[in-house]
Chains A and B, each alone.
Chain A
Amino acid sequence: MPTPGRTGEPRSRVVAPVTGAREAVAAVVDPEIRVVTIDDLGVLRSVQEDPGTGRVVVTITPTYTGCPAMDVIRADIRRALAAAGHPDAEVRTVHSPAWSTDWISDAGRAKLAAAGIAPPAPVRRDGVVALALAVRCPRCGSPETEQISRFGSTACKALWRCRACAEPFDHVKAL
């Protein structure tokens, strides 16, 4: 494991003391967008206990197929569960149904916006081509924004700029 980059950063990514398995896993923070949890993002699909063995089984799904954060997320889940008294947990990865930005919770969207990341618009279900909706600037709220780059600092984001306040910002692409 790499050592924490900043002094004082806790080794565990669990944000609060927890006792239950579900709460422990739900509190694991996304390693790339550290203001939201994997539960906020919809990456966490379920936390169940195997009735036969008593082992905790966690099911997660990636945002994008090549998401490089998945290995870290698996390790963080195991570490959080070990701290909560479940040292032999199993983490399973599923790809169906495919993740959608519609699974990001309202709380997650609010956290993204508060961190200066414009959350995604709802995905249109009735057509192949997504409707281009105005993306509001997460800093000043203006709808006068433009895309700078279709790809961004992580697989799930694009880079935008506000024409009103001139600040660049990340936008989670609707998927």
Chain B
Amino acid sequence: MNGPFAFTLALGDDALIAAQRLAEWTTRAPEMEEDIALANIALDQLGAARLLLSYAGELEGAGRDEDALAYLREDREFRNCLLVELPNGDFAVTMAKLLVLSAYQLPLYTALAGCPDERLAAIGAKARKESAYHLDHATLWVKRLGDGTEESHRRMQSGIDQVWPYAHELFAARPDTPVDPATLRAEFDAAVGAVLAEATIAVPDSGWAPAGGRDGVHTEHLSYLLAEMQVLHRAHPGAHW
């Protein structure tokens, strides 16, 4: 895979798989407002995914459109980070995942907005506004749960502990790409560190750093997610509303 294609595909896959996971909360969120919130955030992620995958298909030049890339690839062909494919867990785990994802996507899209590739710059400029709102939302909940009751604190700390090892993969150096994710780590650490401190949540020991998503080596969770996401399109090729 060439550099720009692989980079754009990875970002599109992050957004697509995050959207699919978040959508699983629909009708199951702890309150009505949160049901609407998670569905809206999923919709934003899906919007970014469609733009990124459409552009990735053009960069590849093999005639694959957004649907071909989303619905007709096998698990080993996906390039999303492991973080987004992890199961939702309880609400605190989901908010921990959203905090890490949005605190990564915000500086990433912001940097992308200034890159020389006009298409990626336009997508970045658009998506960063939405990521900022997602980060605000996750921040509110992590603080509320972390600095809440004994039980909510225990669950929030557990959520961060479960998710944190998967944050490191996001910032693996890719110096040949429009934005090297390694350059975003300091901003991420500062933003998330401030939120966790106010939430009275301890930053976990970062010794374990599972990775492989960018090379197509995923957890078993992705395969089940794809089976559900792709079944209709594969059973009825070309189906539309």
Contact = CB atoms under 8 A, between A and B. Distances in A.
A98 interface: yes
B interface majority secondary structure: helix
Contacts of A62: 47
Interface string A155-175: 100010000000000000101
A68 B47 CA distance: 9
B126 A149 contact: no
A66 B36 contact: no
Contacts of B48: 65-66
A96 B132 contact: no
A159 B37 CA distance: 11
Contact of A65 (B36, B47, B137, B140): B47
Interface stretch (B38-46, B61-69, B72-80, B206-214): B38-46
Interface string A66-107: 111000000000000000000000000011111100000000
Nearest to A157: B40
Interface in A38-78: 62, 64-68
Contact of A95 (B32, B33, B51): B51
Interface in A140-162: 148-153, 155, 159
Most buried by B among A64, A148, A153, A175: A64
Contacts of A133: none
Contacts of B125: 95-98
B106 to A, nearest CB: 10
Interface in B7-56: 32-33, 36-37, 39-41, 43-48, 50-51
Nearest to B125: A98
Given A65-B44, A66-B46, A67-B47, A149 B129 contact: no
Contacts of B46: 66
B47 A159 contact: no
B118 interface: yes
A128 interface: yes
B127 interface: yes
B36 A151 contact: yes
Interface size bucket, B side? 20 to 34
A66 B33 contact: no
Most buried by B among A66, A99, A128, A149: A66
B122 interface: yes
Most buried by B among A96, A148, A159, A173: A96
Contacts of A96: 118, 121-122, 125-126
Contacts of A94: 122
Contact of A149 (B37, B127, B130): B37
A150 B44 contact: no
B223 to A, nearest CB: 25
Given A64-B130, A95-B123, A155 B43 contact: yes
A155 B43 CA distance: 8
Contacts of B47: 62, 64-67
Given A65-B126, A66-B46, A128-B132, A150 B37 contact: yes
Given A149-B36, A155-B44, A175 B129 contact: yes
Contacts of A153: 36
Interface string B123-153: 1011101101100110010000000000000
Interface of A: 62, 64-68, 94-99, 128, 148-153, 155, 159, 173, 175
Give the top 3 A-B pairs by smallest Cβ distance, nearest first. A66-B47, A65-B47, A96-B122
Given A68-B43, A149-B36, A175-B129, 18 more contacts: A64-B43, A64-B44, A64-B47, A95-B123, A96-B121, A96-B122, A96-B126, A97-B125, A98-B129, A150-B33, A150-B133, A150-B140, A151-B33, A151-B36, A151-B40, A152-B36, A155-B44, A159-B33
